[in-house]
């Protein structure tokens, strides 16, 4: 089963994708994570995209399509969760063609809808465990006072360079201009289902499970 989690930054795509990996053995393909890894390891591509990512703009279709193509050539495990990809119509077309060339199908596109005000407060207060990616929020889910991640016991927490009010404005604008047309695109194909991304993590997870049944 191959699915896309679609939604603006801060909608909870990464959190839900990690659950699906644990519960169903699916493989999370997050182009954001891949690009951050490329930056950390200092590859030529990583250095090229760093400033664009920090500003909140999208990197070129060519780069992210190349990243996904490489992964589709590897192990397909229990299916793929596309998280943060596709983000443009060109990427959506490319994904369709890539899946077809691997005799694979797209089984569901799940929109996680969250209102803009909630996104801003989620993102500007967000930090994650450096070891397992568990997400914390300064107000609603602070890092435990013993400084240990509740999920894995890790003790290093990170804030993303682009989780600030300025970059977020650009990221939201990019989402509405370039990514939100994908909702119509997948609706027209009959692939789209929306879930309310504002609930508790468990509630959102069971709404997603219901779609996947
Ligand atoms: P994310 O972790 O998904 O929020 O992505 C972080 C940043 O990586 C984005 O703001 C973009 O600069 C870049 N990025 C991630 N995925 C894509 C994509 N599919 N297309 C273009 N840029 C992307």
**Residues with a known catalytic role:** 13, 87, 126, 160, 171
What is the per-residue pLDDT for 6? 98
pTM given for the model = 0.93
**Is residue 68 classed exposed, middle or buried when 0-12, 13-18 and 19+ CB atoms within 10 A define those classes?**
buried
What is the per-residue pLDDT for 47? 94
DSSP 32-52: HHHHHHHHHTT-HHHHHHHHH
Grouping H, G, I as helix, E, B as strand and the rest as coil, residue 156 is coil
Query: Which among 31, 95, 169 is the best mutation to test ligand 1's pocket, defined by most ligand atoms within 8 Å of the CB?
Result: 31
Place of tokens 């490329």: 38
Tokens of 34: 């891949």
Q: Could you give phi then psi for residue 65, rounded to 5 degrees?
A: -65, -40
Grouping H, G, I as helix, E, B as strand and the rest as coil, residue 30 is strand
CB 17 within 8 A of CB 83: yes
User: Ligand 1 center to residue 192 CA distance, Å?
Assistant: 21
What is the per-residue pLDDT for 74? 85
Average pLDDT, the chain: 95
Q: Flag residues of the chain having pLDDT under 50.
A: none
What is the per-residue pLDDT for 128? 93
What is the per-residue pLDDT for 121? 86
Indicate which residue's Cα is closest to atom 14 of ligand 1: 32
User: Ligand 1 center to residue 58 CA distance, Å?
Assistant: 6
Establish whether residue 167 lines the binding site of ligand 1, counting it when its CB lies within 6 angstroms of any ligand atom. no
CB 131 within 8 A of CB 34: no
User: Ligand 1 center to residue 149 CA distance, Å?
Assistant: 26
What is the per-residue pLDDT for 77? 82
Ligand 1 atom closest to Cα of residue 83: 3
- What count of Cα atoms within 13 Å lies in the side-chain half-sphere of residue 212? 21
> pLDDT digits over 56-102, tens only?
999 999 999 999 999 999 888 889 999 999 999 999 999 999 999 99
């Amino acid at each position: 089963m191959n699915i896309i989690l679609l939604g603006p930054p801060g909608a909870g795509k990464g959190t839900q994708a990690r659950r699906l990996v644990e519960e169903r053995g699916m493989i999370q393909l997050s182009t954001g994570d891949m690009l951050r890894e490329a930056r950390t390891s200092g590859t030529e591509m990583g250095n090229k995209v760093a400033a664009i990512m920090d500003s909140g703009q999208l990197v070129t279709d060519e780069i992210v399509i190349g990243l996904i193509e490489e992964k589709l050539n590897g192990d397909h495990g229990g299916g793929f969760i596309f998280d943060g990809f596709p983000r443009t119509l060109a990427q959506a077309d490319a994904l369709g063609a890539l899946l077809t060339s691997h005799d694979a199908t797209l089984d569901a596109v799940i929109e996680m809808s969250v209102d803009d005000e909630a996104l801003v407060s989620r993102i500007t207060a967000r930090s994650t465990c450096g070891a397992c990616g568990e997400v914390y929020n300064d107000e609603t889910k602070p890092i435990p006072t013993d400084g240990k991640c509740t999920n894995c016991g890790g003790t290093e927490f990170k804030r993303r360079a682009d989780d600030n009010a300025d970059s977020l404005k650009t990221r939201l604008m990019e989402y509405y201009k370039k990514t939100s047309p994908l909702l119509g695109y997948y609706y027209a194909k009959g692939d789209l289902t929306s879930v309310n991304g504002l609930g508790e993590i468990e509630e959102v997870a069971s709404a997603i499970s219901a779609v996947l049944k």
